[in-house]
Chains A and B, each alone.
Chain A
């Protein structure tokens, strides 16, 4: 019985056999009555299945209308487009968060340095700010000219430095804010145009 090709008869019927297997089945069917009967039964089965009629389905228009009524309102957004939209938000937000973090670190550092310079933190903050040893040399250097008292000059210098840092910081933050607003405006314009395009199409 192992020579029979019963397991291949279905594929033969379906036209799915090629080359060696096809030749083998054809040659075997020429000689084997048992496999011929099996093949005839498969043909009869296939004929019977295919001739079983279908019921009357609803018209395509009615069916499509029923489906349209049941479609959820949720817009279908392709994964790629969704990723792009998320990055439109995440990229500027990430940049601004990084900028705020860096600015804060610098601002705190400047404030600590300034406070130390004005003597508010006394010697307890020496470990934090490494400029106190140079202030003595600086004082001596300015005092040689006799224009200003060294302590007063040092006070003005520090005030100027704090103001300059603050203005610079505000300028950059305003610039970044403008950049982010422009980014949002572009995103909004694209989004509106897309929505309008779809509305016009539908």
Chain B
């Protein structure tokens, strides 16, 4: 995220809420990377993620009058981003693999180094994330990739902190099961 003071962002938000498109474009530049990151992790497809990120900002523009400045703009945008990504995934089922096994990664002869080099590891991880239930996936992404605290996740997704914790535990449990065979291999490759 581009560095910007809270005062500047507040001023940009006020101007954008009064219909100033330039101020809104500035807000887009500030939050675009974070939003694209979230929707890409939610979708697992670069092109769909770009569309979803654009749609997120369009929805934000249309609903900007309902945004209350006492809450974080980033959290508010991420909530729209998560919902937009989920909607797009529902419209286009083919993006999500049904299981990690569907991915082309079962070349036993290749070895962990080859796996790492060909980038299939990324596909494997992203594929495993994509098989998580929507609600757990959103919580995991905000925690692992955006570094949100549990409180920030709760605010962003409008759920209790206890639910954040239980969804996160569930997501991690599922991911461990799916990636169990590869998990320590990855860790070893990292340290070769």
Contact = CB atoms under 8 A, between A and B. Distances in A.
Nearest to A41: B176
Given A14-B168, A16-B165, A45-B176, 4 more contacts: A48-B179, A48-B183, A60-B33, A202-B21
B183 A45 contact: yes
A198 B144 contact: no
Contacts of B184: 44
Given A16-B149, A52-B122, A77-B65, A66 B29 contact: no
A198 B187 contact: no
13 contacts: A44-B184, A45-B183, A48-B183, A51-B186, A55-B40, A63-B28, A63-B53, A64-B28, A64-B32, A67-B25, A67-B28, A68-B28, A76-B61
B121 A201 contact: no
| Chain B: number of interface residues, binned into ranges | 35 or more
Contacts of B121: 52
B139 to A, nearest CB: 11
B85 to A, nearest CB: 15
A48 B186 contact: yes
B57 A76 contact: no
B40 A54 contact: yes
B76 interface: no
Q: How large is the interface on A (under 10, 10 to 19, 20 to 34, 35 or more residues)?
A: 35 or more
Contact of A202 (B20, B65, B122, B150): B20
Given A72-B62, A77-B65, A61 B40 contact: no
A38 B29 CA distance: 40
Given A47-B190, A57-B33, A67-B58, A198 B19 contact: yes
Contacts of B29: 60-61, 64
Contacts of A50: 144-145
Contacts, number: 125
Contact of A72 (B17, B54, B58, B143): B58
Grouping DSSP codes into helix (H, G, I), strand (E, B) and loop, the B interface class, with mixed when no group exceeds half, is helix
A170 B184 CA distance: 92
B172 A42 contact: yes
A76 B23 CA distance: 12
B37 interface: yes
B61 A52 contact: no
Interface in B73-114: none
Contacts of A82: 65
B122 to A, nearest CB: 5
Contacts of B145: 49-50
B51 to A, nearest CB: 10
A146 interface: no
A101 B36 CA distance: 59
Contact of A10 (B22, B57, B62, B172): B172
Contact of A60 (B21, B32, B61): B32
Nearest to B54: A67
B18 interface: yes
A71 B61 contact: yes
Contact of A201 (B15, B169, B172, B183): B15
Interface string B154-192: 000000000001001100100110010011101100100
